Amino acid sequence: MGRENSDMQQATDKDYPPLNLHVPEPKTRPGDKPDFSHIKISPVGAVAKPEHDVSAQDIKDLAFEMVRVMDEHGKPQGEWALELDEEILRKALRAMMRIRAFDKRMMRAQRQGKSSFYMQALGEEAIAVGQQLVLQKGDMNFPTYRQQGLLFAQDFPVMDMMVQIYSNDKDNLGGRQLPVLYSFKQAGHFTISGNLATQYIQAVGWAMASAIKGDRKIATGWIGDGSTAENDFHSGMVFAGVYRAPVILNLVNNQWAISSFQGIAGGEVSTFASRGLGYGIPSLRVDGNDFLAVYAASQWAAERARRNLGPTFIEWVTYRASAHSTSDDPSKYRPKDDWEHWPLGDPIERLKQHMILRGFWSEERHIQAQAEYEDEMRVTAEKAESYGTLHAPKTKRSPAEMFENVFADMPPHLRRQRQEMGV
Partner 1 sequence: MDGARDIKMNSKTKSMSMIESIRDAHDVMMGRDDNVVVFGEDAGFFGGVFRCTEGLQQKYGKHRAFDAPISESGIVGAAVGMAAYGLKPCVEIQFADYMYPAYDQIVSEAARLRHRSNGEFTCPLVVRMPVGGGIFGGQTHSQSVEALFTHVVGVKTVMPSNPYDAKGLLIAAIEDPDPVIFLEPKRIYNGPFDGHYERPVVPWSKHEKGMVPEGYYAIPLGKAAIAREGREVTVLTYGTMVHVALAAAEETGIDAEVIDLRTLVPLDLEAIEASVKKTGRCVIIHEATRTSGFGAELSALVQESCFYHLEAPVLRVTGYDTPYPHAQEWDYFPGPARVGEALTKIMEN
Residues of this chain that bind Mg ion (CB under 5 A) = 224-226, 254
Partner interacting with residue 185 (select from Mg ion, partner 1, ligand TPP, none; CB below 5-8 Å by kind): none
Q: Which is nearer to partner 1, 121 or 196 (CB)?
A: 196
Residues 6+ apart with CB under 8 A from 193: 181, 199
Q: How far is the CB of 262 from Mg ion (least distance, A)?
A: 7
Q: Which is nearer to Mg ion, 205 or 226 (CB)?
A: 226
Q: Which is nearer to ligand TPP, 237 or 257 (CB)?
A: 257
Residues 6+ apart with CB under 8 A from 393: 168, 169
Query: Quick one: DSSP state of residue 194?
Result: S
Q: How far is the CB of 41 from Mg ion (least distance, A)?
A: 18
Partner interacting with residue 213 (select from ligand TPP, Mg ion, partner 1, none; CB below 5-8 Å by kind): none
Q: For residues 131 and 298, give the distance between their C-alpha atoms in angstroms, rounded to a whole number.
A: 5
Residue type, 297: A
Partner interacting with residue 53 (select from partner 1, Mg ion, ligand TPP, none; CB below 5-8 Å by kind): none
Q: For residues 290 and 121, give the distance between their C-alpha atoms in angstroms, rounded to a whole number.
A: 15
Residues 6+ apart with CB under 8 A from 372: none
Residue selected from 41, 48, 242, 258 as contacting ligand TPP according to rule CB under 6 A: 258
70: left (phi over 0), alpha (psi -120 to 50) or beta: beta
Q: For residues 79 and 90, give the distance between their C-alpha atoms in angstroms, rounded to a whole number.
A: 23
Q: Check: CB of residue 145 under 8 Å from CB of residue 222.
A: no
Partner interacting with residue 175 (select from partner 1, Mg ion, ligand TPP, none; CB below 5-8 Å by kind): partner 1
Q: How far is the CB of 221 from Mg ion (least distance, A)?
A: 15
Partner interacting with residue 96 (select from partner 1, ligand TPP, Mg ion, none; CB below 5-8 Å by kind): none
**Contacts to partner 1 by CB under 8 A:** 1-2, 4-8, 20-21, 23, 25, 29, 116-117, 167, 171, 174-178, 181, 193-197, 226-227, 229-232, 257-260, 264-266, 327, 332-333, 390, 393, 397, 399, 401-403, 406, 413-414, 417, 421
Q: How far is the CB of 128 from partner 1 (least distance, A)?
A: 21
Partner interacting with residue 6 (select from ligand TPP, Mg ion, partner 1, none; CB below 5-8 Å by kind): partner 1
Q: How far is the CB of 369 from partner 1 (least distance, A)?
A: 34
Q: How far is the CB of 197 from ligand TPP (least distance, A)?
A: 7
Q: How far is the CB of 171 from partner 1 (least distance, A)?
A: 8
Partner interacting with residue 367 (select from Mg ion, partner 1, ligand TPP, none; CB below 5-8 Å by kind): none
Tell me how crowded residue 44 is: count the other CB atoms within 10 A of its CB. 22
Residues 6+ apart with CB under 8 A from 253: 224, 225, 262, 267, 272, 288, 315, 316, 317, 318
Map residues 193-212 to x or -, x wherever contact with ligand TPP holds by CB under 6 A: -xxx----------------
First to last CA, the chain: 54
Burial label, 262 (beta-carbon count in 10 A; 0-12, 13-18, 19+)? buried
Interface positions, 218-247, toward ligand TPP (CB under 6 A): 224-227
Q: How far is the CB of 72 from ligand TPP (least distance, A)?
A: 27
Q: For residues 37 and 34, give the distance between their C-alpha atoms in angstroms, rounded to a whole number.
A: 9
Q: Which is nearer to ligand TPP, 123 or 388 (CB)?
A: 123
Q: For residues 155 and 170, give the distance between their C-alpha atoms in angstroms, rounded to a whole number.
A: 19
Provide the β-strand partners of residue 315: 251, 285
- Which H helix or E strand runs over 203? helix 198-212
Footprint on this chain of ligand TPP (rule: CB under 6 A): 144, 146, 194-196, 224-227, 252, 254, 256-258, 320, 324
